Chain A
Amino acid sequence: AQKITQTQPGMFVQEKEAVTLDCTYDTSDPSYGLFWYKQPSSGEMIFLIYQGSYDQQNATEGRYSLNFQKARKSANLVISASQLGDSAMYFCAMREGGNYGGATNKLIFGTGTLLAVQP
C-alpha cells in the first residue's frame, strides 16, 4: 500500500531564510508522481511543484525546489528566501501511475507540516 509520511508537524523559519520540509513515501509502483500543495488558513489548496518518478532532474518552480532522492524514497520541499506569506500548511502527496496517467489518478496526502515564517 502506498503511504506518505511527513514527520514535521510544525516548523518555524526566519524571514528570508531557506527551509526544508520533509516527505518520505512508500510505493511498489515504479511509476508515480509526487506533489506539494500549500494550504493557507483560508483553506484552498495551492499546487506548488511536481516530480515524476522517471524525471532525471529535480523539479524547480521559482522559490520552490524539490530534493528528490529516489533510492531513499524522499521528496523534500525546499523553500528559498522565505516570506511571511509562506506561512501555511504544506502537504506532500503521491499519485501512483503518475507518469503515464495511472489507473486511478487519486492522490494520497501526508499529514502536513505547518510552517510559520517569523519576521
Chain B
Amino acid sequence: GAVVSQHPSWVICKSGTSVKIECRSLDFQATTMFWYRQFPKQSLMLMATSNEGSKATYEQGVEKDKFLINHASLTLSTLTVTSAHPEDSSFYICSAYQTGFYRQPQHFGDGTRLSIL
C-alpha cells in the first residue's frame, strides 16, 4: 500500500534555530501534499497545501515566512520552521494524496514532534 515517510520523527533544538522536516511518498507520486499541525489533545489543523512545482497554498493565519514549504519533486515536500521559538513546539504531520485515486484516503507520515527550548 501507499506509504509516506516523514523525517525526523523527533527534534529538540534551541530557540532561533531553523528546522527542516521532510515528507516523502515512497511508492507513489503525489503532486499534492499537506502539512498539519497538532497541539496536545487537539485536532489536526491544516497549515498548507504543498503543490509540486508551484507555490504552496497557506491556510488563513499561517505565516508563510515562518513555515517555508518546498515541493521540488513528485515524491518530496519539505517544511522548514524558520527561527523556531518555543511557541512553535508542536506535532507536525504530513500527508500525501495519490494522484488519480480519488476514493483513496490521504496517507499520513508518522509525524514529527518538535520541541523548541
Contact = CB atoms under 8 A, between A and B. Distances in A.
Q: Do A and B come from one complex?
A: yes
A44 B103 CA distance: 21
Nearest to B93: A45
B32 interface: yes
B103 A107 contact: no
A50 interface: yes
A107 B91 contact: no
Counting chain B residues whose Cβ lies within 8 A of the other chain, the interface size class is 20 to 34
Nearest to A91: B43
A108 B102 contact: no
Contacts, number: 59
Interface stretch (B14-22, B63-71, B76-84, B108-116): B108-116
Contacts of A110: 43
Given A45-B108, A50-B103, A107 B43 contact: no
Contacts of A102: 102
Contacts of B43: 91, 109-112
A106 B49 contact: yes
A101 B91 CA distance: 28
Contacts of A35: 105-106
Contact of B105 (A50, A100, A101, A104): A50
Contact of B95 (A45, A100, A111, A112): A45
A49 to B, nearest CB: 9
Given A33-B102, A47-B105, 4 more contacts: A43-B110, A44-B111, A101-B100, A105-B102
